[in-house]
Amino acid sequence: MHAILWLCAAASVFTTVGIVLILLVESLQFFGHVSIVEFLTGTTWTPHSNPPQFGILPLFCGTVLVAGGSAAIAIPLGLGAAIYLSEYASPRMRDVLKPILEILAGIPSVVFGYLAIVFVSPIVRSIFPSADVFNALNASIVVAIMILPMIVSLSEDTLRSVPRSLREGAYALGATKLDVTVGVILPAALSGIMASFILAIARAVGETMAVALAAGKRPQMTLNPLDSIQTMTAYIVETSKGDNPQGTLGYQTIFAVGLTLFVCTLTLNVLAQWILKRMREQYE
C-alpha cells in the first residue's frame, strides 16, 4: 500500500516534470531562431505572415485585460457572497446557496463561451454600440462567473475558520455585527482571502475555451475592453489545430507561448503561497 500511494504521488510529479521539459526543449529550439528580446518586447504578433513578427506583448496584454476584468467583477461579488454565507446567512440558506454556487465550477468552459456569444455579447453591444461582436468584456464577464465559486468557497472557509472567541470578545466590547465582520473577522482571515484572489486570477489567466470563443482572434495592444483581442491560451487553441507541420517555427510558437503562460501562472501561485506564509494568523 505504501508503494502504491508513493506511485500515485510520484505520477503527478513526473507528469509535471515531463510537461516542463517538453516546453523547455521546444521553446529553446524556437529561441534559436527568434531573439528572446524581440519575443518579450515586440508589439506585433503575426507569426504566420511574411515576414513573421513574434512580439508576445499583444497576447500578454489580452490575457491581462481578460484576467484583470474578470477579477474586477468576481472579487467584490465573491467576497460579498462569502461574507454573507459565513456571517449573515442562516444554516438553511447556506446549505442551499453554497451548493448552487459550487455547481458553476462543474459547467464546461465551452458552455460559458457559447453563453458569451449568444447572450452576453448582444447585451454588451446594446449598451455599448461601438463594441465588437467578440470583445474582452464578453470574456471577462463569463470568466468572472467561472472563478466566482473558487473565491466564494475558499474565502468562506477561511472566514468560518476564524475562532469564535474573537467574535465573542468583540461582541462583549459592544461591537455591532458589521464592526465584528469588518474590524475582526476580515483582518483575521485576510491571508486566506488574498490567496483565494490570486488563485482565482491564476485560473482566469489559464482559461482557454471560453476566452477563445468570446474574446476574438485579433492580437492587438489595447486597454479597451470593447475591442476584440486574443489571449495566450486562445492563440494556443487556434494554432494547435494541425495546420502547422511539426518542427516548423509556427508550430514551435505554441510551446514558447505555453512556456510564457506557465511562468505567469507559476508566479501567481508562488505569490499566493508567499502571502499565505507572510500573513497567516495562528490561534490557540
- Angle (CA) 212-216-222 rounded to 5° is 115
CA–CA separation, 233 and 59 (whole Å): 9
Each residue's pLDDT, cut to its tens digit, for the chain (284 residues) gives: 999 999 999 998 999 899 889 989 889 988 888 888 889 888 888 887 778 888 899 999 999 999 999 999 999 999 999 999 888 888 888 888 888 887 887 888 888 988 898 999 999 999 998 888 899 999 999 999 999 998 998 898 888 888 888 888 888 888 888 888 888 888 888 888 888 898 899 889 988 888 988 888 888 888 889 999 999 998 988 887 766 677 778 888 899 999 999 998 888 888 878 877 776 655 54
Asked if 210 and 139 count as a contact pair (C-beta separation under 8 A), the reply is yes
What's the pLDDT score for residue 133?
Answer: 87
Domain assignment present for residue 2? The answer is: no
pLDDT at position 282, please? 54
* Cα–Cα distance measured from residue 69 to residue 49, given in angstroms and rounded to the nearest whole number: 30
12 in a domain, yes or no?
Answer: no
Quote the domain boundaries for residue 158.
Answer: 24-279
Which amino acid, one-letter code, is at 239? T
Residue 16 in any domain: the answer is no
What crossing angle do the helices spanning 136-160 and 57-83 adopt, rounded to 10°? 40
Other CB atoms closer than 10 Å to residue 105's CB: what's the count?
Answer: 12
What is the model's pTM?
A: 0.87
> Residue 202 sits in a domain of what CATH number?
1.10.3720.10
Within a domain: 99 = yes
Asked whether 115 and 142 are in contact (CB, 8 A), the reply is: yes
Return phi, psi of residue 246, to 5°.
Answer: -60, 135
Question: What is the C-alpha to C-alpha distance for residues 189 and 159, in angstroms, rounded to an integer?
Answer: 6
Is residue 100 a part of any domain in this protein?
yes
User: Of 165, 197, 186, 207, whose CA–CA distance to 65 is shortest?
Assistant: 207
Q: What is the pLDDT of residue 141?
A: 93
Q: Which pLDDT does position 137 carry in this prediction?
A: 92
Determine the Cα–Cα distance for residues 158 and 188; give it in Å rounded to an integer: 9
- The Cα 257–Cα 23 span in angstroms is 9
Number of separate domains in the chain: 1
In a domain, 1, yes or no: no
Distance of CA 98 to the CA centre of its chain: 21
CA distance to 135, 161, 175, 181, 272, per residue, from 184 (Å): 41, 13, 10, 6, 22
Cross-strand bridge partners of residue 45: 54
**Measured distance CA(132)–CA(193) in Å, rounded:** 35
Identify the CA nearest to 219 among candidates 55, 21, 77, 13. Answer: 55
Identify residue 114 by its one-letter amino acid code.
Answer: Y
Query: Does some domain include residue 18?
Result: no
pLDDT on residue 280: 63
pLDDT for 143 equals 93
Beta strand ranges found along 39-134 (DSSP E): 45-46, 53-54
CA distance 254 to 272: 27
